[in-house]
Amino acid sequence: MLGERTIARPARNVVVVEATGHQWYWTFRHPGAAGAIATRDVLHIPAGRPVDVRIASADVIHSFWVPRLGGKMDAIPGLVNTLRIEATDPGLFEGQCAEFCGLHHTSNRFRVMAHDAAGWAAFQRGEE
């Protein structure tokens, strides 16, 4: 059984997504209208709503970091850590692994796409 740590405070209307660090990419699972939607290297979130990112690792220690959206949180094998982020406005935000994770660490980057309400609903329906 995986351990779990959460530092986020309770909030209303929180979206929960999963992020998994790999050598040398990230996978994400988002809530969708017909079930989870999986993406690679792009995390989709709604703007103006708190998002709890459940962070895990598939191999070695990584660190999830999106400087413009909040702090960083380690991705540790066998443990799930939760980091709350929130984009106040729609837009594209750059993220990266902030823990040396091997030879190609510097290329272990991802993007966060913050959608407006209509764009988030379209994404959840699989239209984006």
Q: Is the pTM of this model over 0.85?
A: yes
Domains of the chain: 14-124 (2.60.40.420)
Of the candidates 56, 22, 52, the one whose C-alpha atom is nearest the C-alpha of residue 40 is 22
Q: What is the pLDDT along the chain (128 residues), one digit of tens a residue?
A: 455 555 556 678 899 999 999 998 999 999 999 999 999 999 999 999 999 999 999 999 999 999 999 889 999 999 999 999 999 999 999 999 887 887 877 878 999 999 999 999 999 998 87
Q: Alpha-carbon distance 56 to 2, whole Å?
A: 10
